[in-house]
Amino acid sequence: MDWVNGIVQGVLVGGLFALFATGLSLIFGVMRIVNIAHGDMIIACAYLAFTIIQLSGLHPLVSLLIVIPIASLVGYLLQTAILNRTLGKDILPPLLVTFGLSIIVQNGLLEVYSADSRRLAAGPIETGSFPLARGIDIGYLPLLTFLTAVVVVAGLQFVFYRTEIGRSFRAVSDDPETSQLMGLDNRKVYGLAMALCLAVVAIAGVFLATRSNFDPFMGPSRLIFGFEAVIIGGLGNLWGTLVGGVILGVAQAIGAQIDPGWQLLAGHIAFLVILAIRPEGLFPRGAR
């Protein structure tokens, strides 16, 4: 039963990984760049929520009502003021600039918040759970995280494939020259994509921070989890990213069952195995 329980918990954790991953996938999908600072943005949002909660006493989930708009606005400004200048035929500039941004964010957080690890207190849902079967308890917070990931993926899917802005995202991604002939200002479209990404990042940050401790240097490993989930699921496929997150979560859970020290390693091994067998991921775009 331990095993089954471990796997069930792994599935739920996978929701969190999917939240790390969808923003990354979105940005790669629209502008073909990998945002190295993605994980640090998640942590920065956790700290933003921390400050807002300190000032207002709001519940972490309620604080999202403030964190999301601020994060989105910052995302839009970051994209239009800085990242747009790095886009071009060469893939190196955006990597270097977001790498630099990653370091700046980490050290900025260290300066403002110190290296102490923090946590957002979510009250009763944090520890509450209900029994699913004998030996399997489902925590309210992990379940809520997973359901949120499903809703986020479904929402992004809707935006991408059913709305005008989603059409613009896809058009700019397909052909950034011809898209301008449709009246699209690519720089603004990229800005909106980053704003949307940061909305998801804010959600990811707050859920992460209610589930575990966080400190200024946790970003890069969240980037890795997100990146692995994206690659496992197949680039450009949002539901695939959710499955990728779940596979990663389950692999880590299985690893942890064997030996607690194996948790992270098992996740990376699962990633490498899938990368070796199916380099394009399990559900690449086009096989939609």
Partner 1 sequence: MSDVLLEIRDLDAFYGDAQALFLLSLALKRGEMLALIGANGAGKSTLLKSIAGLVANKRGEIKFQGRSIVRRHAFEIVAEGIALVPEGRKLFTSLSVEENLRLGGKVRRSGNWSLDAIYELFPVLKDKRNVPATLLSGGQQQMVAIGRALMSNPELLLIDELSLGLAPLVIKDIYDLLPKIVQNGLSAILVEQDVTRALRVASRFMCILEGRVSLEGKPADFSRDQVTAAYFGT
Q: Which of 182, 258, 273, 287 is close enough to bind partner 1 by CB under 8 A?
A: 182
Q: Which of 80, 168, 210, 241 is close enough to bind partner 1 by CB under 8 A?
A: 168
280 binds partner 1 (CB under 8 A): no
Q: Which of 135, 175, 258, 287 is close enough to bind partner 1 by CB under 8 A?
A: 175
Q: In whole angstroms, what is the distance from residue 182 CA to residue 153 CA?
A: 28
Total site size for partner 1, rule CB under 8 A: 18
Question: Shortest Cβ distance from residue 186 to partner 1 (Å)?
Answer: 8
Residues 149 and 242: beta-carbon distance below 8 Å: yes
Residues 122 and 61: beta-carbon distance below 8 Å: yes
Would you say 16 or 192 has its CB closer to partner 1? Answer: 192
Task: Please state the separation of Cα 247 from the chain's center in Å.
Answer: 15
Residues 172 and 135: beta-carbon distance below 8 Å: no
181 binds partner 1 (CB under 8 A): yes
Q: In whole angstroms, what is the distance from residue 15 CA to residue 284 CA?
A: 19
| Lookup result for tokens 């052909």 | 175
Binding region for partner 1 (CB under 8 A) out of 12-20, 113-121, 147-155, 163-171: 163-171
259 binds partner 1 (CB under 8 A): no
Question: Shortest Cβ distance from residue 237 to partner 1 (Å)?
Answer: 12
Would you say 26 or 52 has its CB closer to partner 1? Answer: 26
Would you say 106 or 173 has its CB closer to partner 1? Answer: 173
Residues 128 and 140: beta-carbon distance below 8 Å: yes
Residues 79 and 26: beta-carbon distance below 8 Å: no
Residues 49 and 208: beta-carbon distance below 8 Å: no
Q: Which of 59, 118, 119, 167 is close enough to bind partner 1 by CB under 8 A?
A: 167
Q: Which of 171, 247, 254, 266 is close enough to bind partner 1 by CB under 8 A?
A: 171
90 binds partner 1 (CB under 8 A): no
Q: Which of 111, 131, 174, 261 is close enough to bind partner 1 by CB under 8 A?
A: 174
Q: Which of 57, 88, 131, 183 is close enough to bind partner 1 by CB under 8 A?
A: 183
Q: Which of 59, 118, 170, 268 is close enough to bind partner 1 by CB under 8 A?
A: 170
Would you say 84 or 129 has its CB closer to partner 1? Answer: 84
178 binds partner 1 (CB under 8 A): yes
Q: Which of 35, 179, 241, 252 is close enough to bind partner 1 by CB under 8 A?
A: 179
Give contact residues for partner 1 (rule: CB under 8 A): 164, 167-168, 170-171, 173-175, 177-186
